[in-house]
Structure 1
Amino acid sequence: MDKKKPKKVFVEGAIPPEKIAKSIANHQSKTNIGAHSIFLGQIRADEEDAKIVQAIEYSAYEEMAEQVFHEIRESAFSKFDITCAHIYHSMGRVNAGEICLFVFTSSAHRKIAIEACNFFVEEIKAKAPIFGKELFEDDSHQWKVNK
């Protein structure tokens, strides 16, 4: 794959279901694709120290984060025979129950699409410089630790 400039991955607030549906619909005309794999990260209403998480507020140094996403994407295309890959991550406030991460991979065969999707998610969690602040119902907050 030739070198391309980093794509914009950030969406302000929650990722709307319409964006996910449109992404899927846009691939119906691509007849060389036999499989898609989708990961949707959703905000959980976790209990921390007897307080319930109401939302997570995401922040990042966007230019650096987009470069990391680009490197992950380039690595995935070199490791897997995928046709397409799309990544969207929320910035700002995302309420419990809403989608904050959307990864969508496509290939000729299901096993490759699934493995590539899993690769993206694990690499994003390990490498992307994105920070989440858990917001509680009592207006307190704490920095989220990825589990």
Structure 2
Amino acid sequence: MSEKKIKNIFVDGPIKPAFIADSIAKHSEKTAIGGHSIFMGQVRKDEIEGKFISAIDYTAYEDLALEKMHQIREDIFEKYPLNCMHIYHSLGKVKTGEICLFVFTSSAHRKPAIAACSEVVDRLKAELPIWGKEIFEDETHQWKENI
């Protein structure tokens, strides 16, 4: 693994639209970029056994998750010709309709940005020790299945 600094991907609570807009706006000066791909995960108001979800409370084994995310970043940068990649995941309570995951990849051309973004999301969901507790409108809860 390289000597690059491990980046903290975690955000307390939901990822705010202004933060996302600012992240995108900062790239207008980077003129070698020709394509961006963005994935935003939003908490759905799913109905499960007649009850509706009102929020998800995210927890993680943070140190291990950050180490694993660092390795995923290294793998993705090695595999795709990216200019940059930004990843943010919520911890704590995120209400339905709010953003809990923001992945933003950029490259000279669209195809690597799109493929890298998709792979990051798939690997993050499969490999990182992050859990979500679904909170229902009646305040009961259950652990979320990560699909």
> Which category describes the TM-score, using the shorter chain as reference length?
over 0.9
CA distance in 2, matches of 1:85, 1:96: 26
Question: Which region of structure 1 is more displaced relative to structure 2, 86-95 or 61-70?
Answer: 61-70
Whether 2:58 is the aligned partner of 1:42: answer no
Q: Which residue of 1 aligns with 2:115?
A: 115
Report the counterpart of residue 95 of structure 2 in structure 1.
95
| SS of residue paired to 2:27 | coil
Where in structure 2 are the equivalents of 1:74-85 lying within 5 Å? 74-85=74-85
Give the drift of 1:2: 4.8
Gaps of 5+ in 2: none
Unaligned runs of 5+ in 1: none
Looking at structure 2, the residues matched to 28 and 112 of structure 1 have their Cα atoms a distance apart, in angstroms, of: 19
Q: TM-score, normalised by structure 2?
A: 0.97
Runs of 4+ in 1 over 3 A off after TM superposition: none
Deviations along 1:98-120, whole A, 9 cap, x unmatched?
Answer: 00000000000001100000010
Matched residue type, 2:111: K
Task: Tell me how far apart the structure 2 counterparts of residues 3 and 72 of structure 1 sit (CA, whole Å).
Answer: 14
Q: Secondary structure at the match of 1:8?
A: coil
Give the letter aligned to residue 136 of structure 1.
Answer: F
Supply the distance in 1 between the matched residues of 2:19 and 2:39 (Cα, whole angstroms): 14
What is the percentage of aligned positions where both structures have the same residue?
Answer: 58
For the pair 1:52 / 2:52, whether they are aligned, the reply is: yes
For 1:2 and 1:108, locate their aligned partners in 2 and report how far apart those are by CA, in whole Å.
Answer: 24
SS in 2 for 1:15: coil
Cα shift readout 1:25-64 (whole Å, capped 9, x = no counterpart): 1111111100100000000000111110000000011111
TM-score in terms of structure 1 length? 0.97
In 1, distance between residues paired with 2:63 and 2:85? 20
CA–CA separation in structure 2 for the residues paired with 1:4 and 1:132: 29
Deviation at 1:127, TM superposition (A): 0.3
**Distance between the aligned counterparts of 1:2 and 1:71, measured in 2?**
9
How many angstroms does 1:126 deviate by? 0.6
